[in-house]
Amino acid sequence: MRYADQGFLTYTGVKHRLEIYANGQAVMKLTVTPERICSGVLCMSAKTFNLRYLSPEYPPELLAHVLAGEPIFGGVGIQHNGLGVIQKITQEGRYAIEYRVLNGSVIFRDTINHILIEIRKEE
């Protein structure tokens, strides 16, 4: 999956709904819980989603935590500052993650797996 357009992220209870638009058309809709991720009628476990689209090394609940701006990997490597939190998590050859939750924005970057998730809160 590769999208670099705008979208909407909504949260209802334990579910996140992510809709990405390009040229005014919905190109991707995901419903995300810590256990399951659904795209339209196709649902899979979060573990399977990670295996297919992200990295098999990630914990299943990773995407749900990123969308919520919550600590990942149980808070390993977390650093607090006045604007939010930063986590740097590395396992040689598997992932090199820098995760920032600052000023209402979320940036998840894994340079080994070439993954970037960026969420900016529009005012």
Does position 106 have pLDDT exceeding 90, yes or no? yes
State pLDDT tens for residues 54-98.
Answer: 999 999 999 999 999 999 999 999 999 889 999 999 999 999 999
State pLDDT tens for residues 4-13.
Answer: 567 889 988 7
Tokens coding 27? 């190109």
Look at residue 8 in the predicted model and tell me its pLDDT: 87
Look at residue 123 in the predicted model and tell me its pLDDT: 60
Say whether 73 sits in a helix, a strand or coil.
Answer: helix
Rounded to whole angstroms, how far apart are CA atoms 62 and 68? 10
The position carrying tokens 């340079």 is 111
Mean per-residue pLDDT, 10-31 = 86
Look at residue 5 in the predicted model and tell me its pLDDT: 65
How many residues are present in the chain?
A: 123
